[in-house]
Amino acid sequence: MSNLVEIRDLQFAYGERVILSDLHMDFPRGKVIAVMGGSGCGKTTVLRLIGGQIRPRKGSVAVGGEIVHELETDALYRLRRKMGMLFQFGALFTDLNVFDNVAFPLREHTDLPEELIRDLVLLKLNAVGLRNAHKLKPSEISGGMARRVAVARAIALDPELIMYDEPFAGLDPISMGVTANLIRKLNDALGSTSILVSHDVQECFAIADYVYFMSAGKIVARGTPAEMRVSTDPYVMQFVNAAPDGPVPFDYPGKSLDDDLGLGARA
């Protein structure tokens, strides 16, 4: 099966601080791929590299056979029209109602008449169960509903690639389940490739075809959800079981408390 997104030998850093190193990842067409790991491990940075917001120090990111960081501005914008993005916490425009939030990418990137835009927006909202909420403002709907509106906006242009950045953050268990099922069903209906960045194990394992586990900017494990559930890898076991002790330490690396307090020298 061909890959829509391919990342090869990638390294990224902010100045001297290396964020990602030696990444090699494949995202096949039509699949839901989860990128998981603790906070600060580099998951969202991967999405930003795929979208061309930042450039790698080394290696390549290819989407549809095009090297993202080599594209000129116009070509990059054309490529981005094939991408949908669900930002953390939805990021809806608070001054626009539900309808206008979903219509925004259609009005921004197409010359479609308003009559057709209206029909498309209502179809997208119907797909997420919120057609009858189209006149409401984001402040007038629940957090779970707002996340579904954000999903409708992300799929407004029927993108080949949909990227979800922590789609389950801040949701109650019912809304998490609804959102997870929606991501899977929309991916299959559109024939898209979905990249799901999250640290929510149960929801990701329920819908993903393949999982990458990241830690400290590297891939430390990969496989199907079934393989990850029975993995004996210490990092995977710690993450899946939410264990406080394991390869991921509680303390940020550095000097010991005794050294900071000057007790080591006294001893």
State pLDDT tens for residues 223-256.
999 988 888 777 777 777 766 666 665 566 667 7
Residues 165 and 89: their CA atoms lie apart, in Å, by 9
pTM (2 d.p.)? 0.83
3-82+159-266: what fold?
Rossmann fold (3.40.50)
User: Phi and psi of 103, rounded to 5°?
Assistant: -75, -20
- Interstrand relation of 3-14 and 66-67 (parallel, antiparallel or unpaired): unpaired
Task: Give percent of the chain above pLDDT 90.
Answer: 35
Q: pLDDT band for position 261 (50/70/90)? A: confident
**Integer Rg of the chain from CA:** 20
Mean pLDDT computed over 202-219: 89
For residue 9, what are the contacts with CB-CB under 8 A and spacing of at least 6?
22, 23, 24, 58, 59, 60
pLDDT of residue 33: 94
Strand order in the sheet with 17-28: 17-28, 3-14, 58-63, 66-67
The pLDDT of residue 207 is 92
Closest CA to 210 of 34, 3, 26: 34
The 10 Å CB-count burial string (b at 16+, else e) for 108-133 is eeeeeeeeebeebbbebbebbebbeb
The pLDDT value recorded for residue 258 is 74
pLDDT tier, 120 (very low <50, low <70, confident <90, very high otherwise): very high
- Give the pLDDT confidence score for residue 243 in this predicted structure: 63
On whether the CB atoms of residues 210 and 30 are closer than 8 A, the answer is no
Give the residue among 5, 19, 14 at the shortest CA–CA distance from 218: 19
